[in-house]
A and B are shown apart, each in its own frame.
Chain A
Amino acid sequence: MSRIAQKLAALAAAGKTALVPYITAGDPRPEATVSLMHLLVAKGADMLELGVPFSDPMADGPVIQRAVERALAHHVTLDDVLEMVRVFREKDSETPIILMGYLNPIERFGYEAFSHAASSVGVDGVLTVDMPPEESFGYTPALREQGLDRVFLISPTTPQRRLRAVNEKGSGFAYYVSLKGVTGSNELDAEDVARQMLRLKDELQLPIGIGFGIRNGETAYAMAKMGDAVIVGSALVSLIEANHNQDLYTIELALGEKMQEFRDAIARADAEKSF
């Protein structure tokens, strides 16, 4: 069982929902990333999602686009991101790490070379936004070979038939995109998500993480009541942006406060779920 599956199983057994923060590697500067990862874990992250910067992030909203631009201004590469994970693992061998990004940097690296490198530095799962199951005949096996989980996105528009493919080819968990839109959108509809969850849980054996548009305690609470994991990205990244010229301590304070808000909301949801 992978580190991701183990973590989610342990949390589920304890009646808990996972909190999964996202940051873009190299934002606001490369030397900050490993410290921020440790901070997020100290503030209650159960897993970490680390964004791999790509020049053309076509599924991301303005907040993550600008984070990627800040990282790319420092020429952060996929090699650099893997090195950050390696350094993080020197002090933390427990927290699962999922790399999230676009296919081209991995295509350029080579599927097998990437899978091997990612696995050996301690990456646990990979989410590639523009790589659907249909094109993954060479990709998923390469990841699997190295014990990496393949996390697929599912959206409100995903038909039942495609859910089966995700169930078959995905592992770790499935990432439910809670709205039609880009990351950081502002139109999360909890009732719609609830309807969708019924449909998803019918077809999927995998745990379900919910992300896109979760910006505060209120939305985190609503999503935690329905999903196995809650993923928060733009809400944290916008705090990094607001403080990007400040010292690391200031950024950490801002992130820590926001994490506490999410953590409290999820704890509230978990308490109610267990009744």
Chain B
Amino acid sequence: MSKEFSTIEYANFPDEHGHFGPYGGIFAPETLMAALEQLNLEYQSVKHDPQFLNEIAEDLRDYVGRPTPLYYAQRWSEKLGGAKIYLKREDLNHTGAHKVNNTIGQALLAKRLGKTRIIAETGAGQHGVASATVAARLGLECVVYMGADDVVRQAPNVARMKMLGARVVAVTSGSRTLKDALNEAMRDWVTNVDNTFYIIGTVAGPHPYPAMVRDFQAVIGEEAREQILQKEGKLPDALIACVGGGSNAIGLFHRFLGDESVKIYGVEPAGHGLETDQHAAPLCKGTPGVLHGNRTYLMQDAHGQILGTHSISAGLDYPGVGPEHAWLKDIGRVNYVAVTDEEALQGFRDLTRLEGIIPALESAHAIAYATKLAPTMGKDQTIIINLSGRGDKDMNTICQIEGIEF
């Protein structure tokens, strides 16, 4: 099997209709089909255009602060007593997470298409902040849809979005989290499709979003691969990233997919436990279906109704996942695992106290899995974790749990 992984042309996926094997595609209401087609044409025409790519590269360097460091977490690694662990510091990006890599690119596309208004959905608020940020910079109107429950648990990010001039709409329908924010953003887009660009924050949704967002996030793995080769003189033995919709994960993984010696782990949120119904792990426990414009693994019941999910992390609290991950699971290239809320919290504490880095609760899931994996590996082996965001936004949640007055 491993030989085959190096012969797959991962860059050729998806096909021209947006399919990754049986997954992906365009399952959208008719009103959006023309806009999706226009977006796809525009994206296909600029994605190899040196001028467009230069513009993005400049913004990533001077505005976002890339390249982000690859940091050897020595004290934590030694405590775990196994592999050397490197952190890809996406938390050091402007706005505090990997999300801005994508909003920079999509905002440039919005400008090219002559759109004056952008909308976005957000769970943890990181994508909302990154969208509000690029909107402020380009002088675009910005509306962010956010589940009403998430508005409460990610209050600092709500304040940031408002300060940046965005209107934040608290969505009270359904489960009041990320999936409902996506429904509401779709409804807005259907209504305002003429002047509005929808910046989707993850590698899901109708084609071309999963491919486009992946391409904008792939810079993470491009840099990390170069950096580890420079520091260690060899490829890493393992990669770890958390998976909600899966954009930070695909960003790190993509450049390494053809490197057959590299083991890849995507970490889903097990919430209160995979054996309960209180989790958000469609790849570990879900079944294929169609939601939000693409076919992928979903948390659903026997009748095709989407189930409510639970995760301590708002950014991972979603019943679906990007279609490329569904495909990578089926072909066996990536191992999808899960850690509980409690394990993620312990990961959060470990990194904070041992390395002085406060990770986002999303990223803490990847940290937590490393605490299981690293001790099983040799001291000459290396792991790269995508530290996808910083934890400032989670202070409300953490302080409540730890009994600290905020």
Contacts and interface: CB of A to CB of B under 8 A. Distances in A.
A interacts with B: yes
Interface of A: 53-62, 65, 69, 72, 77-79, 102-109, 129-132, 134-135, 152-159, 162, 177, 180-182, 185
Contacts of B292: 56, 58
B33 A104 contact: no
Nearest to B293: A130
Q: Rank and list the top 10 A-B pairs by shortest CB-CB distance, nearest first.
A: A108-B304, A105-B304, A155-B31, A77-B303, A153-B30, A181-B191, A104-B304, A58-B186, A55-B306, A58-B183
B29 interface: yes
Contacts of B180: 56
B28 A108 contact: no
B34 A108 contact: no
A107 B289 contact: yes
A interface SS class: loop
A180 B186 CA distance: 12
B125 to A, nearest CB: 21
A135 B25 contact: yes
B26 A135 contact: yes
A264 to B, nearest CB: 31
B179 A154 contact: no
B95 interface: no
A211 to B, nearest CB: 12
B174 A55 contact: yes
Contact of B191 (A159, A162, A185): A185
Given A65-B173, A153-B30, A107 B190 contact: no
Given A58-B29, A104-B290, A132-B26, A157 B35 contact: yes
B211 to A, nearest CB: 16
B interface SS class: mixed
Interface string B174-204: 1000011011001100111110000000000
Given A132-B27, A157-B35, A158-B30, A182 B304 contact: no
A30 to B, nearest CB: 14
B190 A180 contact: yes
Interface string B12-28: 00000100000001111
Contacts of B32: 157
A134 B17 CA distance: 8
A201 to B, nearest CB: 18
A157 B290 contact: no
A159 B174 CA distance: 33
B31 A104 contact: no
Contacts of A180: 31, 190-194
A234 to B, nearest CB: 14
Given A55-B305, A130-B293, A182 B191 contact: yes
B305 A54 contact: yes
Nearest to A60: B187
Given A103-B27, A135-B26, 16 more contacts: A53-B305, A56-B291, A58-B186, A59-B29, A59-B186, A65-B173, A107-B290, A107-B295, A108-B303, A130-B290, A134-B26, A155-B31, A157-B30, A157-B31, A158-B30, A177-B30
Contacts of A56: 174, 179-180, 183, 291-292, 306
